[in-house]
Amino acid sequence: MGAGHDHGTGNANASALTKALALTGTFLVAEVIGGILTGSLALLSDAAHMMTDTAGLAIALAAVRIGARPADNRRTFGYKRFEILAAAFNALLLFGVAAYILYEGIKRFVEPSEIQSLPMLVIAALGLVVNLIAMRILDAGRTSSLNVKGAYLEVWSDMLGSVGVIAAALIIWFTGWTWVDPLVAIAIGFWVLPRTWVLFKETTNILLEGVPEGIDLDKLSARLASVPGVASIHDLHVWALTSGMPSLSAHLVLKDGFDPETTREAATEAMHEGFDIDHTTFQIEFTDCRLGRDHHGLH
């Protein structure tokens, strides 16, 4: 992935996050006030999600801005890993909100409260419109950035919350069944948790420098071993600095009679074509360094 492409993608993500932040931030105040006035836990849960949307989008936008900073003498990889930290924080934030809603939902079953269904319906409908617009804005960047994906998931979960609140408001309006309100709130919490867990797993894998999603290490190792001139490989490491930026390093033991530079170029090309890995570092060895013998290396 070229630097120019990265820069363009970063600018596009920042623009999308800014627009989505403006939308959710503007509506947040109205929804919080509406949740308090109507007495609806389902609406308050939606407002809580909207609050995490706003905070998450602000964090995600800051991460994109900071991640765009160039490398310096203290951080030779730059600040791109900050995006993953922000995505992990967003996941933890969602976990916290889901836990709070579950707790309040159970409490409301024991101590039911009066609910104004019509204002609840109007506010939830407006929230749904805001969420759908924000999702449309963020959709393009969610496949290329875990940070944007985290923000998209937050807005997506809030959109589902709005749908649930609308349904609850209609049922309460026509039947008077106020117990539907905490039931919907709890359902929203359980719906969000699995998707939040997936995001948290992805960010944790990157922070632990695990093999990036979608890369089969056995197939990759076999492809490297099949490169002309490679006798064996060892010290193979595959990780990602941030989403969409996989890296690889390995020691390649050279067969007799093969040119080191030609072999290194062939290995680099194999990783690019087969696994879309462009940041590679190969140490070419005439003798396996693990044997403790003298060897000559090319990086």
The per-residue pLDDT string of the chain (299 residues; one tens digit each, 9 = 90 and over) reads 333 344 445 566 777 788 888 877 777 777 777 777 777 666 666 676 677 667 777 777 777 777 677 777 887 777 778 778 877 887 887 788 778 778 877 877 777 767 777 877 888 888 888 888 888 888 877 666 666 777 787 778 778 778 888 888 899 888 888 888 888 878 877 877 887 788 788 889 999 999 998 899 999 999 999 999 999 999 999 999 887 789 999 999 999 999 999 999 999 999 999 999 999 999 999 888 877 644 444 44
Distance of CA 10 to CAs 45, 101, 171, 271, Å?
32, 34, 44, 25
In this predicted structure, what is the pLDDT of residue 54?
76
pTM (whole model) above 0.95: no
Strands 246-254 and 279-285: parallel
CA separation for the pair 188, 186 (Å, rounded): 5
The neighbour count for residue 190, using CB atoms within 10 Å, is 12
Residues 6 or more apart whose Cβ sits within 8 Å of residue 22: none
CA separation for the pair 194, 129 (Å, rounded): 24
CA separation for the pair 28, 185 (Å, rounded): 18
Distance of CA 197 to CAs 70, 93, 101, 269, 284, Å?
31, 12, 17, 35, 40
Candidates 97, 80, 61; CA nearest to 240 is 80
Q: Which domains does the chain have, with CATH numbers?
A: 3-207 (1.20.1510.10), 217-298 (3.30.70.1350)
